[in-house]
């Protein structure tokens, strides 16, 4: 039986200040974040998007999606969702992700489940409207080294090859060697056989990484009506062409985002910085920045260059060759989709916060931003170990040494807690400071120094006693570390390291339905799933 618990994101220690403040709806972030994700604000967002999104854009979008889905066996629900996008009362909820090999980290699933669950919640709140879950494939990215591997039981399984240009266009040639490596690590169970079959059909049955990833995501989620979008599409790029021209000739993004960054960095770390031109030139195996030098538009690291007239002709003839970077990709998404909300991780939301004034400047509604669900899955066996070690779920999030120290202190006959002694020192030296103030104020510094010396001595004594107890409780220490390392690989969140295949081996086809049932996108809490 599955048991679901939650903990505030802010208490996990794994989320940045900007995200914690966003969740707390602090004034310092509210001007950058748009409407907060709640039912009332989604109704407002529906009206805003309804008024701004053109009917002809819906027709182009549906035709493009039908073309992209040729050869893909979509579910009836997905087909209906695509058709419904023609209607003025249909809106999307979107997440995006790189084309990581075999989904990459586990949070790929959490992102898409968050999107699916939110559309279902909104349908209950607003039954007169339709809501379509969308996964935006980052097919135009060129960071191959970020996506060429996945982790399985502590081993890195890599696709070793040279690559350039947009990753979605890469041939899947050579992935049979990855399948062979993966198969050697699996047992002969039915779930293992299903995983191998899924990998084989996805990657060996398709010619490009885009087609392989679409097949994989469709196999995992089409029953829930997921619609998969590839932005590397000439017809979709034509809709975006006015904004590309504006960027090339007026550099609005650089001006607006730079101003926003000046305000953000007063409180927070800046996630990304804009370029003067936030577009790449994408052709064949090439994706390079467009740079304006004098009167010429040059393609970085190449001999390709355009005059103003030549560039305008190139735009008219080949809009698909102009690829938005991290600053402009969100705008591209919001221009071509009737989108209400973007669901992303902490790092993603941090760069979306830089874009609100840019969206306003180009007259496109800024979406509601929602932090995706985050979770840790704990097996029944691990739950039993935690119970034997008297580790509660909140304590799991402690830094490892703090957790070890806490448990040793609880098990030890010694009381290794000098809080009372620290209070006594504070009390004694408070009186000494009063005496010094009344007699000779020049002694106050010496009194404070002596106080700190005694506190430091107490800290050192406490550490030495704990170290001695750790030696005494060596076996307990090892067991605590082992279980925490299992649940938090590399002392990081499970979802950032573990591939879904590890969990699929254990839970099989029940995995995604169980995750879907456990994750609640609008709860805005970290989820602990014991199953």
The pLDDT assigned to 445 comes to 78
* pLDDT confidence of residue 38: 94
- The confidence score (pLDDT) of residue 225 equals 98
The angle formed by the CA atoms of residues 332, 213 and 333, to the nearest 5 degrees, is 10
CA distance 381 to 387: 10
* Stretch 400-418: mean pLDDT: 81
% residues pLDDT > 90 (the chain): 86
Region 449-456: what's the mean pLDDT?
Answer: 83
Q: What residue segments make up the domains of the chain, in order of their start?
A: 3-237+327-374+512-530, 380-485
Q: What is the pLDDT of residue 316?
A: 96
Q: What is the mean pLDDT of residues 378-397?
A: 96
pLDDT digits (tens, 9 = 90+) for 240-277: 999 999 999 999 999 999 999 999 999 999 999 999 99
pLDDT band at 79 (very low <50, low <70, confident <90, very high): very high
Distance of alpha carbon 224 from alpha carbon 74, whole angstroms: 11
pLDDT digits (tens, 9 = 90+) for 215-244: 999 999 999 999 999 999 999 999 999 999
Strand (E) or helix (H) holding 434: helix 419-439
Task: Decide: residue 434, CB within 10 A, 0-12 exposed, 13-18 middle, 19+ buried.
Answer: exposed
What is the average pLDDT value for the chain, to the nearest integer? Answer: 94
Average pLDDT over residues 80-96: 98
Largest CA distance in the chain: 90
CB 147 within 8 A of CB 101: yes
pLDDT per residue over 290-334, tens digit each? 999 999 999 999 999 999 999 999 999 999 999 999 999 999 999
Q: Which of the residue ranges 103-107, 154-158, 436-440, 509-513 would you say has the lowest mean pLDDT?
A: 436-440
Q: What is the pLDDT of residue 303?
A: 97
- Residues 187-202 have pLDDT tens digits of 999 999 999 999 999 9
How far apart are alpha carbons 440 and 187 in whole angstroms? 78
Q: What is the pTM for the complete model shown?
A: 0.89
Would you give the DSSP letter of residue 363?
T
Query: What angle, 0 to 180 degrees and rounded to 10, lies between the N-to-C axes of helices 107-125 and 511-518?
Result: 50
For residue 98, give the nearest of 68, 152, 140 by alpha carbon. 140
- On the question of pLDDT at 458 being above 90, the answer is no
- Determine the straight-line distance between the first and last CA of the chain, rounded to whole angstroms: 6
Q: Is the pLDDT of residue 415 over 80?
A: no
CB 90 within 8 A of CB 333: no
């Amino acid at each position: 039986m599955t048991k679901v618990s939650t903990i505030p994101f802010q208490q996990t220690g794994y989320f940045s200040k900007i995200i914690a403040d966003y969740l707390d709806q602090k004034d310092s972030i509210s001007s950058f974040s748009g409407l907060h994700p709640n039912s009332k604000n989604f109704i407002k967002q529906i009206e805003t998007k309804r008024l701004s999104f053109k009917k002809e854009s819906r027709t182009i979008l549906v035709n493009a999606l039908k073309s992209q889905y040729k050869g893909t066996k979509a579910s009836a629900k997905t087909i209906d969702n695509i058709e419904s996008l023609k209607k003025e009362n249909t809106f999307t909820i979107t997440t995006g992700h790189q084309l990581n090999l075999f989904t990459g980290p586990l949070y790929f699933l959490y992102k898409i489940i968050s999107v699916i669950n939110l559309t279902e919640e909104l349908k209950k709140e607003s039954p007169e409207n339709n809501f379509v879950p969308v996964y935006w494939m980052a097919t135009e990215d060129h960071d191959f080294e970020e996506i060429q591997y996945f982790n399985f039981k502590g081993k890195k399984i890599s696709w070793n090859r040279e690559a350039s240009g947009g990753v979605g266009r890469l041939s899947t040639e050579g992935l049979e060697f990855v399948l062979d490596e993966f198969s050697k690590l699996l047992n002969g169970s039915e779930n293992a056989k299903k995983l191998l079959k899924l990998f084989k059909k996805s990657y060996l049955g398709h010619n490009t990484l885009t087609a392989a990833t679409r097949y994989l995501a469709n196999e995992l989620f089409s029953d829930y009506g997921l619609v998969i979008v590839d932005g590397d599409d000439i017809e979709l790029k034509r809709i975006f062409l006015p904004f590309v021209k504006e960027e090339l000739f007026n550099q609005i993004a650089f001006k607006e985002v730079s101003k926003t960054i000046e305000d953000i960095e007063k409180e927070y770390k800046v996630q990304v910085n804009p370029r003067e031109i936030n577009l790449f030139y994408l052709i064949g195996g090439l994706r390079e920045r467009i740079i304006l030098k004098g009167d010429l538009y040059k393609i970085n690291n190449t001999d390709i260059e355009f005059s103003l007239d030549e560039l305008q002709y190139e735009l008219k003839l080949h809009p698909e060759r102009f690829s938005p970077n991290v600053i402009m990709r969100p705008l591209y998404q919001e221009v071509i989709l009737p989108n209400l909300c973007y669901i992303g991780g902490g790092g993603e939301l941090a760069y979306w916060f830089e874009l609100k004034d840019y969206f306003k400047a180009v007259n496109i509604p800024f979406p509601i931003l929602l932090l995706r669900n985050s979770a840790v899955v704990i097996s029944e066996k691990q739950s039993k170990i935690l119970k034997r070690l008297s580790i509660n779920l909140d304590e799991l999030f402690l830094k490892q040494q703090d957790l070890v120290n806490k448990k040793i202190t609880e098990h030890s006959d010694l009381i290794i807690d000098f809080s009372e002694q620290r209070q006594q020192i504070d009390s004694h030296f408070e009186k000494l400071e009063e005496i010094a103030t009344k007699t000779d104020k020049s002694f106050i510094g010496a009194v404070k120094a002596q106080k700190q010396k005694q506190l430091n001595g107490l800290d050192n004594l406490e550490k030495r006693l704990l170290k001695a107890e750790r030696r005494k409780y060596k076996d307990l220490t090892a067991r605590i570390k082992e279980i925490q390392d299992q649940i938090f690989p590399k002392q990081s969140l499970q979802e950032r390291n573990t591939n879904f295949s590890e969990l699929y081996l254990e839970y099989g086809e029940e995995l995604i339905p169980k995750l879907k049932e456990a994750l609640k996108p609008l709860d805005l809490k970290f989820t602990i799933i014991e199953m």
